Amino acid sequence: MKGSIFIVSAPSGAGKTTLCKMLIQSMPDIIHSISYTTRPPRPGEVDGKDYYFVKEDRFLEMVRKGEFLEWAEVHGNLYGTSKQKLLETINNGTDVILDIDVQGASQIRAQQIDATFIFILPPSMEVLKERLTKRQTDTEEIIQRRLQKAREEIKQYRSYDYVIINDELEVALEQLKAVVLSQRLKTEKIPHEWVEKTFQLQSLL
């Protein structure tokens, strides 16, 4: 059975990194797709774990070679998802979660790739600002830029299959797990040979 693809988008600071990390820790057989980026690492971020941190010329070479399933410029930096790595993961039967922006999600939608699209909303703009400030990873100028962009991104929420409001972290996590679980329980994900063999359906045909 092929793994499923989950696309998670949200304005910066809504909590998608936190939620995706918690989801992966608490559910088996799902991994986080590691994106390539030209953004410098934040304190504590590890190359090959949080992102593949690359120089712009290397990133653009990958673009030219068609190595990205999607890529976009977000807040002045380039981000992209490797086509090969993603295909390897789902072909191994592992589910994969892509934490990507609205432009990247729309590129994947346009390619009609089978994926579940989830949008994470903060409970309010005030809370969003508070979270960006408390995170202490960005300057005041960057926070202002991210807040301005947030409304543009939120406008896209209707193109997603599910919306989760990240107010109480534990509640939002349960909701995210429920989305993954419901995808796993879809009829098309059941090994039909197992059903046929167990219930001797062929002999009934």
What is the full DSSP assignment across the chain? -PPPEEEEE--TTSSHHHHHHHHHHHSTTEEEPPPEE-SPPPTT--BTTTBEE--HHHHHHHHHTT-EEEEEEETTEEEEEEHHHHHHHHHTT-EEEEE--HHHHHHHHHTT---EEEEEE-S-HHHHHHHHHHHT-S-HHHHHHHHHHHHHHHGGGGGSSEEEE-SSHHHHHHHHHHHHHHHHTSGGGS-HHHHHHHTTHHHH-
Contacting range for ligand 5GP; rule: CB under 6 A; set: 57-65, 76-84, 157-165, 197-205: 76-84
Residue 39 interacts with ligand 5GP (CB under 6 A)? yes
Applying CB under 6 A, does 10 fall inside the site for ligand ADP? yes
Residue nearest to ligand 5GP (CB): 104
**Residue 101, binding choice from ligand 5GP, ligand ADP, none, Cβ under 5 to 8 Å by partner class:** ligand 5GP
How many residues bind ligand ADP (CB under 6 A)? The answer is 14
Decide if residue 81 touches ligand 5GP (CB under 6 A): yes
Residues at the site binding ligand ADP, with contacts judged by CB under 6 A: 10, 12-18, 131, 134-135, 166, 169, 172
